[in-house]
Structures are given as C-alpha cells and as structure tokens.
C-alpha cells in the first residue's frame, strides 16, 4: 500500500471560516495532497478565540473538491448522539461521492471541553460510551434495522439507509493499548503523540497481533518542518501535516499547502 499525504487542519481563528477552508482545500487538491482533515473542538484554551463547526467545514470542502478524502479528525463520540452522527456521516459520504472518513476518539478534557458544557468528564465512562456508540453507529451505517437500548444510548425503529460506505478511523495516544485494540476492529488507527518514527514498529507489531482487515490505515501527523520519509519508511499509510493550532496565518498556511506534499 502506497503512503498518502494529507493535511490536519485546525479550523481556528484565521481559519475559522468554512469558505477559507474550502478555498485552501481546493489549493491542496491542485497541489497533490490526498486528504484534508479538520479538527473537531468546542474550545481550545485562551490562545484560541474562534472555532468553526467541523460539519459545515466538511460540507463546504466536499462541494469544492473532487478527489481528496476529507472528514473530522477526530470527533469525541461521547458528546454526540450516534443516530444524528450517523445521518451526518452518511450525508457527507453522499455529498463527497464516497470520499468521507469518520475520525472518532475519546476526546480530552484538558481545557474543560467536556465539563464546561455538561458532558461526561470521566475518560473511563467516555470509553464505555465510545464502545457502545460505535456499536450503534456502525449498525446504523450498515443500513440495517436498529433496535438498541444500552446504558448510554437508545435508538429504536430508526429509518436509515446510507448510500455510500463510511470508513472509520479511531484515534489514541501512543502507548495506550485500549484505543489500538478498539481501532483494529475498524478501518484505521490515528496514533497521537508518537515522537519518533522508530516507535511505529511497536504500533505495527501490536496492530498485527489484533489482525486488522486488509487495507487498514495507520495514520500519523507531523509538523510542516518535519520530513515525512522516515514515517513512511516505518509503516505509516497516511502522513498528515499539522496546520495549527495557534497563531495561524492564512498566507503562511496557503504557502505550505501550495508547496505540495513533497
């Protein structure tokens, strides 16, 4: 499997405008990038003043591009209703002609992103909600009949029939085995906070022990100044260039994008 290059973009402040992100996505597609993935946050500390809605951004990007993959990277499922999220994902898959990837994870409360809005602050409970939500979400996306009454989510007699497949990538921090085990049951693993390309050997070994399906994606993100080659050599199937989160300047971001993936 050849490695693909994408952009991992924080829709904050100067980029907190779906029209700006869509324009950047068009430039990215024309410059040879393979994917454009947008952060999903409600707040990000005192250094960020404005944050755009990820679903509106994805819709704008889907309408303006033709070949790139796109999606939220990543959405904390514990603060979403799976039946609503499933309909959003399926609609974006149709809108993008099958180019939508749904990135999901536990989320982090380091700036009170959960507690501020009355969402679940306990990561262990969010993990249980993620697992239950994934069960419901994948059932809905399969187009089958769903009658689910769990500890955290309920969906009965839902009418749902998607028209395009939705790959699911699960995110987790390097060294944490639980997210890796969870991801192996889906379509990809976005490994966060992996410092050295050599560390991917441990990730790929652990993944192999859980027998992911053929075509499973191993995703990492790097800074614009970093060389993607070592990450590619150590088994990453996607290397994303991170744009953000702080002090974003549209002209500088545009220059990075138009320089191409290298």
Average pLDDT over residues 153-180: 86
Average pLDDT over residues 215-242: 97
| Nearest CA among 190, 45, 22, 26 for reference residue 104 | 190
Give the containing element (helix H, strand E) for 21: helix 18-30
Residue 143 has pLDDT above 70, yes or no: yes
Identify the CATH number of the domain in which residue 150 sits: 3.20.20.30
Residue 57 has pLDDT above 90, yes or no: yes
Tell how strand 154-156 and strand 75-76 pair up: unpaired
Q: Where are the alpha helices (DSSP H) in 142-261?
A: 177-183, 200-209, 229-233, 250-258
Percent of the chain with pLDDT over 70: 97
CB proximity list for 44: less than 8 A, separation 6 or greater: 10, 12, 51, 111, 113, 245
The confidence score (pLDDT) of residue 142 equals 86
∠ CA 32-35-39, nearest 5°, is: 135
Label residue 2 by pLDDT band (50, 70, 90): confident
The predicted model scores a pTM of 0.96
The confidence score (pLDDT) of residue 240 equals 98
Average pLDDT over residues 222-248: 97
Q: What is the DSSP letter of 42?
A: S
The confidence score (pLDDT) of residue 246 equals 96
Domain count for the chain: 1
Q: What backbone phi and psi angles, to 5 degrees, belong to 144? A: -85, 175
Rounded Cα distance between 147 and 150, Å, is 10
Label residue 184 by pLDDT band (50, 70, 90): very high
Residue 106 has pLDDT above 90, yes or no: yes
Q: Where are the alpha helices (DSSP H) in 142-239?
A: 177-183, 200-209, 229-233
- For the record, the structure tokens of 166 come out as 């939705």
List, for residues 149-160, the tens digit of each pLDDT value.
999 998 877 766
Q: What is the DSSP letter of 175?
A: T
Q: How far is residue 70 from each of residues 62, 155, 157, 163, measured CA to CA in Å?
A: 7, 28, 30, 17
Q: Cα 96 from chain centroid?
A: 16
Mean pLDDT score across all residues of the chain: 95
∠ CA 167-168-172, nearest 5°, is: 150
Residue 30 has pLDDT above 80, yes or no: yes
| Nearest CA among 192, 188, 176 for reference residue 213 | 188
Q: Cα 235 from chain centroid?
A: 19
- The CB density around residue 81, as the number of other CB atoms within 10 Å, is 15
Q: Do the beta carbons of residue 171 and residue 240 sit within 8 Å?
A: no
Residue 117 has pLDDT above 70, yes or no: yes
The confidence score (pLDDT) of residue 1 equals 59
The confidence score (pLDDT) of residue 183 equals 98
Residue 163 has pLDDT above 70, yes or no: no
Question: Range of 92's domain?
Answer: 4-258
Q: Do the beta carbons of residue 217 and residue 238 sit within 8 Å?
A: yes
The residue among 112 and 145 whose pLDDT is bigger is 112
């Amino acid at each position: 499997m050849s490695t693909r290059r994408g952009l991992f973009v924080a829709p904050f402040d100067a980029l907190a405008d779906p029209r700006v992100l869509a324009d950047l996505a068009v430039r990215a597609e024309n410059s040879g990038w393979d994917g454009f993935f947008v952060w999903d946050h409600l707040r990000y500390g005192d250094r960020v003043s404005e944050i755009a809605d990820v679903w509106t951004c994805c819709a704008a990007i889907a309408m303006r591009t033709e070949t790139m993959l796109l999606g939220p990277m990543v959405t904390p499922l514990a603060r979403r209703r799976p039946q609503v999220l499933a309909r959003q994902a399926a609609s974006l898959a149709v809108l993008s002609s099958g180019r939508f990837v749904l990135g999901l994870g536990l989320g982090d409360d380091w700036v009170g992103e959960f507690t501020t809005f009355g969402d679940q602050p306990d990561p262990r409970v969010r993990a249980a909600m993620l697992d239950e939500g994934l069960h419901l979400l994948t059932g809905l996306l399969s187009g089958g009949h769903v009658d689910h009454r769990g500890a955290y989510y309920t969906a009965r007699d839902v009418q749902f029939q998607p028209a395009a497949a939705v790959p699911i990538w699960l995110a987790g921090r390097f060294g944490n085995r639980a997210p890796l085990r969870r991801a192996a049951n889906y379509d990809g693993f976005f490994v966060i906070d992996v410092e050295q390309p050599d560390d991917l050997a441990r990730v790929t070994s652990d993944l192999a022990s859980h027998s992911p399906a053929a075509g499973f994606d191993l995703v990492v993100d790097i800074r614009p100044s970093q060389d993607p080659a070592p990450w590619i050599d150590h088994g990453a199937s996607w290397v994303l260039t991170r744009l953000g989160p702080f002090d974003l300047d549209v002209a500088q971001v545009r220059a990075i994008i138009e320089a191409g993936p290298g």
